[in-house]
Each structure stands twice: as C-alpha cells, then as structure tokens.
Chain A
C-alpha cells in the first residue's frame, strides 16, 4: 500500500495546476465559452502541447503510457478550473473506446488525430442503432441521445447492434442537433439514416464502451474532487470574511458543522477518485463493475451535498450566475447525472450482489 504521489506525478500536478491557475479563472472561462463550439482552440492546443491529450495512450499507440493516477491529477485540476474543452469526450471516452478494441491498424488510423487534438471524438453512451450487413459494407440506422461532446465532434463512436463503429462527423445520412449543457460543455442528439460504412470503420465488440464508461467515471470522479474542494475552499473563505450582525458568520456553530460535513464528503469523494484511478488496472470484470458503480454513486451523492451547501452557505450571492460557486454547483450536478446517476448505480450494485455476501464471514468451528 502506498497512497502518495511519485515525484513525476507531483511534477505533472504542479504543471497542470499552474496552467489552470494562470489560464482558467472565471473571466477566461467566459471568453472560452463565447468562442465557436463553446470552447477555446487555443487552450486545447496548450493541453496538446503539454502532452495531456497523449497521456493515457500506450507507448505502442504513440501515447505517453501513463495511468489512472496521472489522469486523475489532470481531472482534478480541470475540475477546479471547470475546463470546458472536450477532454472527457474526446480523450477519455472516445479515446478509451478506440484504444481498447481497435486493431493496431485502426488505432494507427484514428488515435494520432485524437492525440494531436485535430480530431475531436465523442462516444454515444446512450444509443439505439442497428447495423446491417449490406454486401461487404454496413448500413447504420438509429438514434443516440445526449452524446457528450457530440456537438463539436469530428468523429463519433457509435455502439450498435453489431459492434462499435467509428463514424466521421460529415458522413452522409448523419444528422446532429448540437446544444450547450448546463454545467459546461456541449452535447448532441444524433440521427443516423442509412449511413454507409465499411469493415474498416467497425471496431468490433461493444466491450470498449464499458471500459470507456469506466474511464469516464474515473475522470468525472477526479473532476468532481477538484470542483468540490474548490467549492469548499471558497465557502470556508466566505465564512471567514462575510460579516453579519457585526461578526464573521464563521462564528456560528451551525455553519462550522455544515462546513465540516462538506469536508467529510470531499474526503470521501477523494477516496473514490483514488480508488477509481487504481481500479483501471484491475483485470477482474466483476471487481471493476462493482467498484465503479460504488464510485459513481458516492461521487453523485457527495457532489450534490457539497454543491447544495456551498450555495446555501454563500447566501444570495451563491445563486448568481456571475459567482464561481454557481458554476461549481451546475458542474457538480451535471457530473452526478451523466454516465449513470447515483440511483441507477446503486441499482446496478445491488444487481451485482454488492461487496458483502449474505453468508457469514466464517462459520463457527464445529
């Protein structure tokens, strides 16, 4: 057991933290969000130049071959900055799906563009698409909803009745309705009507979707920790500086206790994010499935608690669009809702039998 960051990991954390501190305050973020697509090409290039977009991909695939902990470090910093560039959709979701199920030839075709930031990928996690064999090609028909990053994606990864397909954004027969999401970023509803593809576009089994969603949950957990910690820090600062009745409101025990309860939830979320980072290498499917269900369930619940009370403890200013707290509130709410909310994760965990069996730890010695 060792839960400290390595020296290299600490360096990565320092450099990502610095970028966020210098380039991602609320005013910057507003500027980025006002650009076409709702995010900044310039910031995206900065992340590419830092190597962040290559981070989780293996050496053979041309990536940096780094693991869950490094991704967590980036996610936490992005959560604090409320980064709107499409890292989750393109690198984590689409990237993981491709890197897990693509043949080396397919990976060599798509991943370089993803890593260089020129291709923006998105994964349709909620889709109903039929793939039919026609001659030596495929025809896709169906729909996908709330495809994260789908509004600006140039490459869509679509799970179908017959495996995962990689669909160019400009292919004939594909219609998209893109929109902004509360909490930052965008998404699209996608309709495929007679989209013609070849075997080369087919990634094969749908297993990549599951692994991609797990990676997405790990990323969201890290992002949530960054946002929750930042929201708590702002709230504690506010309690110390805001005066009412001639005293800082921090003297009120009810507020101190609420802040302590928020801290407990932030630390639980931090544990969840660390567990998520380390679970990526787990080979046992059942252990991963139960683990990620628990992680996302806790992240959703803890995030909602911290979001709600950050606003409450800020008073009226907390519901203002201009205040950072309201942005954390919206992002944490969104994080809780995408890739399976707490209730559905709990249902899934129950279905999987949970962590503790009904049978005794051991029987009495006969």
Chain B
C-alpha cells in the first residue's frame, strides 16, 4: 500500500499550478479568491486558455479532443483549480453534454457541437428540473410532439444555472405520454435558446445574485436532428450523464481555500482556530477517502456508488467551513456589497461575499443529487436496505 503520488504526478501538479499562475487573468483570480463570481467574458477567456492545452475537457478521451488524463491526473488538475482558486471549465459543457455527445451523438452532431462545446463557443444550459420534477426527475411534464422534421416543445424548466449566458440547452422532454413507465417516454433534446417561443427569466437567489433561471418553452419548433439517442430512450442518456464524471465531487480544494480565509480572518482567535482544525482533520481524512476511490477507478471504470460518500462529506465540510468563515468575519459580513463593487485595499479580506456564499452554498446539498438522495443510494447499493 502506498498513498503517495508518483514523481510524474507531482510534476504534473507543478505544471498545472504554473500554468494557472501564468495564465489566469489577475482580475479573474482576485474575484475567485474573494469569492465573487467572474463575468461571462472572464470565464470564456479562461476556458479558451485551458482549451489551448486541451485542459478544458479533462474527462474527454483523446480521440475526441481530450487530454487523455488518468483518473489521478484529473483529480490533481481539478484540485489545483479549486485551490488556486480558478474557475472550473463550465460543467454543463465539459462534464455533462460533452461526454453525452461522445457516447450517444451521431458523427454529424459531434462535428457540429464538440469542438465548440470545448472552446465555450457554445455555452450550454441544463434543462432537466421542472417545478414539479426535482429529485423525481422522471415525472417531468414538458412535452414534445413530432410534426414532420420538428419536435414541437412546450413546458416549463427551472433552476437553469447560468442559462442567461447560454446559447443552447440540453433538455428532457416527454415524447410518449402513454408509455407504461414514466421513464420510458422521455427523449433527450438539444434546444437552441434563440428559437422563437423560448423565454429565459432570472430567478434571484438568497445571495441577491442572478445565477439561476427558469426557461419557458411555448410551441418551440426543434429540428429532429437535435435528438440525442433514440426517441423515448432519453432516460438511458440521462442515467449516463448523471453517473458520469464525479471526480473532484468532494471539492476538497475549495474547502481548503475557505479554511485559508478563515485562518486569515480569525486573527488568532483560538476558538475559531480550533473549529478550523476540527474541519481540517476531517478534510484530511476525506482526501484519503478520495484517493481510495480514485485507486478503485484505476482498476475499474464502472461508476462507484461510494462517490456518494464524497458528495455527502464533501458538502458537509464545505458548508461547515462557509459557516465558520461567517463566524470569523462577524456582523461586518452582513453589510450588503454586491460582486460588482470596486476592489478594496490589496491586503484587506473582502467580506462582501461571505454571507451570500454561506447562503447559496446551502444549495450544494440540494443539487447534483441531494444529500437525502445520496443517503438513499448508499443505503440501497452499499447496505442492501
């Protein structure tokens, strides 16, 4: 048994770190350090910079423009981004629709979308949830009926992260309302958000930010060549998408960044520092759990249900760190300061994001499979309950 990374893996980490340091725009970096959300242009510029080394698509195979990372390299790469901190490549593009296109797309669809998806020439939104379909995704009601060479789509999607930046949306629609099981009548469609009948409306979240949206689809005519996989087989595509790419799901590097901020703001307060140490102890051990699961991935490419442990514990620690950061900042963190406020003095900690980020981080145990869903998965797959 050996927990250490190889010399090559350590060298790779240094390479990634140097690349970020040399190429990440200082304004973008400062926003990330302070917990602000970068602008669309900044995210696009950074993803294109990563893409110049094929690093925008860490999980894609080399045959489709990926870097051919091992699972360990993927982890190291994401960990360096999280710790820097630097923006991750847009997950809707590279972790969700990209692998789906590679697995299920026709050669024409791959030709049309893959390179543009990697380079963020197309920004994708995820159109899964609906007002009545959250964790029970298959109960979705958005309908699509075939008319000649088009599907005519009507419905209401919700929680589209960054859809106000997006050009296209991958979405689930019901094509066979008579199917014997609700999972069997669903198709996976790509929708150009510029089509007539599409309306994107902001939802302002408790951090007073515009990050998520709802999308209304009113008799939108979508060409049939935008269907992924077979009609009524969209649930298979969805299961593939949801099980795919869970490397770095524990977001350990992001929590480390929060702990750094806590230690700066604690200003020697031993009670805060002891709480930080308690988080660090669990985080250190979670890193080992992460490595154990990575080690398993080197042996088998099958989805590992133990990833749910990483999601559960990772979110628990990240939320606890954001809460402790709030405590370290004290009531001064309550002053409302939006992300577009001017930068302060160079060495001053920016308090303006601490309360908003504490609030919006509650969503981390809701999206991507809520903590309750993760516990259900563990109980079923690991304990036979």
The chain A residues found within 8 Å of chain B, CB to CB, are 1-6, 9, 69, 232, 236, 239-240, 250, 253, 255-257, 259-261, 263-264, 267-268, 270-272, 274-275, 277-278, 291, 293-295, 297-298, 301, 345-347, 349-350, 354-362, 364-365
Contact = CB atoms under 8 A, between A and B. Distances in A.
A349 B277 contact: yes
B284 A267 contact: no
Interface stretch (B54-62, B126-134, B183-191, B291-299): B291-299
B295 A365 contact: no
Contact of A264 (B33, B72, B309): B309
Interface string B238-259: 0000000000000000001101
Interface stretch (B115-123, B171-179, B212-220, B376-384): B376-384
Given A1-B3, A356-B260, 4 more contacts: A240-B384, A356-B256, A361-B84, A365-B22
A298 B327 CA distance: 23
16 contacts: A3-B3, A232-B383, A239-B385, A259-B379, A259-B385, A260-B375, A260-B379, A263-B309, A264-B378, A268-B286, A272-B285, A345-B281, A347-B277, A354-B263, A360-B33, A362-B17
B325 interface: no
Q: Which of A1, A4, A69 has the most CB of B within 10 A?
A: A1
A355 B284 contact: yes
Interface residues of B, number: 59
A293 B24 CA distance: 36
Contact of B379 (A257, A278, A301, A356): A257
B135 interface: no
B191 to A, nearest CB: 36
Majority-rule SS of A interface residues: helix
B260 A354 contact: no
B375 A267 contact: no
Closest 9 CB pairs of A and B: A358-B263, A350-B277, A271-B288, A294-B281, A260-B375, A256-B379, A260-B378, A3-B295, A349-B277
B210 interface: no
Given A4-B1, A268-B313, A260 B281 contact: no
Contacts of B378: 260, 263-264
Contacts of B372: 257
B98 interface: no
Contacts of A345: 281
Q: Which of A260, A261, A268, A354 has the most CB of B within 10 A?
A: A260
B84 A274 contact: no
Given A240-B385, A260-B378, A356-B263, A362 B282 contact: no
Given A5-B1, A274-B1, A350-B274, A361 B379 contact: no
A236 B148 CA distance: 55
A364 B31 CA distance: 11
A294 B270 CA distance: 17
A263 B273 contact: no
A274 B276 contact: no
B21 A274 contact: no
Contact of B285 (A250, A257, A295, A365): A295
Q: Which of A4, A6, A271, A295 has the most CB of B within 10 A?
A: A271
Contacts of A347: 274, 277
B281 A264 contact: no
Given A1-B295, A361-B84, A275 B3 contact: yes
